[in-house]
C-alpha cells in the first residue's frame, strides 16, 4: 500500500453562500451558511486516504471543539494522527469561504494553531517520515516546518511533493532544492516565476524555470482546462473534464492527494496518475464543501471507466 505523509494545515471552513462578491462599500445578503472540515493539508490527506493510501498527518489544532472535531474527522478517514498536536494557546484554524453562485470561491484564513507547527515538531517525527513513499506539503503552515520535513525525506531518498499555495514569491532556495514535484496553479506559478501562464509556450518556460532550480517534475494545474506536466523528456497537457460546477473548494487539494496516492516514487506512471487526479478533482467540484466533496477511490475509478467507453 502506498504510504503518504502530509505536513499541513487543519481548518474548519465556514462557507458563506452569496450571489457574487460584494463591491467596495456594498452590503449583500447570504443565501446560505454551512460549516465543514477543511484546511489544505487536511483536504490533501483525506484525498490520499480515500484513494487508498496509508496516510499520516503532521499538524496542529486548538484545544477547542473544532480541534476535537477535526482530529475525529481525520481518524474517521483512517488517517494516523499521532503527530497532530493540540495547543491551548490559540484556536483551531478557520477558513471563511465566500462561495459565489457561479461555484467560484474566495477564501479568508485565520491560521490559528497552524502557525505553531515548528521544525522541531517535524524533526521529532523523523522515524515516521523515513518510512513513507511520499511527503506532501503546502504553504498554510510555517515554511520552516516543511523545510525540515523535506530535508529528512531527501536524506532518506523519499520523494517530496510541494503545493506552493497560497501563492507567494521568493520561497527559500533550500525548500525548492529539496522538492521533487512542484504542483502550483497558474497564479501560484506566476508568483514564483514571474511568467504569466497564457499558452503552452509559457507553461514550458515556467517548467524550465523550476527545473533550473533543481526540481525534477513540474505539474501546473489549469482549472477546468486540466493540467500541464513536465518531467524528464515528457511534457504535455492532460485535458480537463466538462462537469457541472457546484463548489471549487478543495478541487486542487483533491488533485494533490489523489496524485500522491497513485504516483509511483520513480514517477514512471506520471500520466496515468495525473489522469486519475484530474478525474478526482472533477468529481470534487460537483459537490458542496471541502472534505465532504472529496470522492472515494471506487467513484473515481468508475468515472474513469465511464469516460473510456
82 appears as a binding residue in the annotation? no
Distance of CA 235 to the CA centre of its chain: 22
Mean pLDDT throughout 65-79?
97
Q: Is the pTM of this model over 0.85?
A: yes
pLDDT in tens, 242-294: 999 988 888 999 999 999 999 999 999 999 999 999 999 999 999 987 788 99
pLDDT greater than 90 at residue 33 = yes
Domain boundaries, the chain: 3-10+39-92+114-307
8 appears as a binding residue in the annotation? no
223 appears as a binding residue in the annotation? yes
CATH 3.40.50.300 fits 3-10+39-92+114-307, yes or no: no
- For residue 208, the number of C-alpha atoms closer than 13 Å in the C-beta half-sphere is 7
The answer, yes or no, to whether the previous bond of 181 is cis (omega within 30 of 0) is no
224 appears as a binding residue in the annotation? yes
Q: Is 66 helix (H, G, I), strand (E, B) or coil?
A: helix
- Round the CA-based radius of gyration of the chain to a whole number and report it: 18
Residues with a catalytic annotation lie at 253
CA distance 69 to 217: 36
Place of cell 523535506: 150
**Is the distance from CB of 47 to CB of 37 less than 8 angstroms?**
no
Task: Give the number of other CB atoms < 10 A from CB of residue 233.
Answer: 5
149 appears as a binding residue in the annotation? no
Amino acid at each position: 500500500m502506498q504510504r503518504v505523509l502530509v505536513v499541513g494545515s487543519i481548518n474548519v471552513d465556514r462557507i458563506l453562500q452569496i450571489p457574487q462578491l460584494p463591491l467596495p462599500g456594498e452590503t449583500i445578503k447570504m443565501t446560505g451558511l454551512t460549516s465543514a472540515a477543511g484546511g489544505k493539508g487536511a483536504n490533501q490527506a483525506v484525498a490520499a486516504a480515500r484513494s487508498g493510501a496509508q496516510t499520516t498527518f503532521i499538524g496542529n489544532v486548538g484545544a477547542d471543539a473544532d480541534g476535537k472535531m477535526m482530529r475525529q474527522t481525520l481518524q474517521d478517514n483512517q488517517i494516523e494522527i499521532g503527530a497532530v498536536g493540540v495547543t491551548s494557546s490559540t484556536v483551531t484554524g478557520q477558513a471563511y469561504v465566500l462561495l459565489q453562485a457561479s461555484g467560484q470561491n474566495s477564501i479568508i484564513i485565520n491560521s490559528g494553531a497552524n502557525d505553531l507547527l515548528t521544525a522541531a515538531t517535524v524533526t521529532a517525527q523523523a522515524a515516521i517520515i523515513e518510512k513513507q513513499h511520499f511527503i506532501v506539503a503546502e504553504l498554510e503552515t510555517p515554511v520552516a516546518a516543511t523545510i525540515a520535513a523535506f530535508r529528512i525525506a531527501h536524506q532518506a531518498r523519499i520523494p517530496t511533493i510541494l503545493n506552493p499555495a497560497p501563492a507567494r514569491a521568493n520561497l527559500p532556495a533550500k525548500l525548492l532544492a529539496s522538492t521533487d514535484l512542484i504542483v502550483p496553479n497558474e497564479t501560484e506559478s506566476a508568483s514564483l516565476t514571474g511568467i504569466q501562464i497564457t499558452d503552452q509556450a509559457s507553461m514550458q518556460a515556467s517548467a524550465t524555470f523550476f527545473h533550473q532550480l533543481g526540481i525534477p517534475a513540474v505539474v501546473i494545474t489549469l482549472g477546468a482546462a486540466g493540467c500541464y506536466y513536465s518531467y524528464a523528456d515528457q511534457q504535455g497537457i492532460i485535458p480537463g473534464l466538462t462537469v457541472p460546477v457546484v463548489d471549487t473548494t478543495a478541487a486542487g487539494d483533491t488533485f494533490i492527494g489523489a496524485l500522491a496516492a497513485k504516483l509511483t516514487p520513480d514517477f514512471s506512471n506520471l500520466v496515468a496518475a495525473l489522469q486519475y487526479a484530474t478525474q478526482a478533482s472533477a468529481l470534487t467540484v460537483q459537490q458542496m464543501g471541502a472534505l465532504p466533496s472529496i470522492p472515494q477511490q471506487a467513484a473515481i475509478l468508475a468515472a474513469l471507466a465511464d469516460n473510456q467507453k
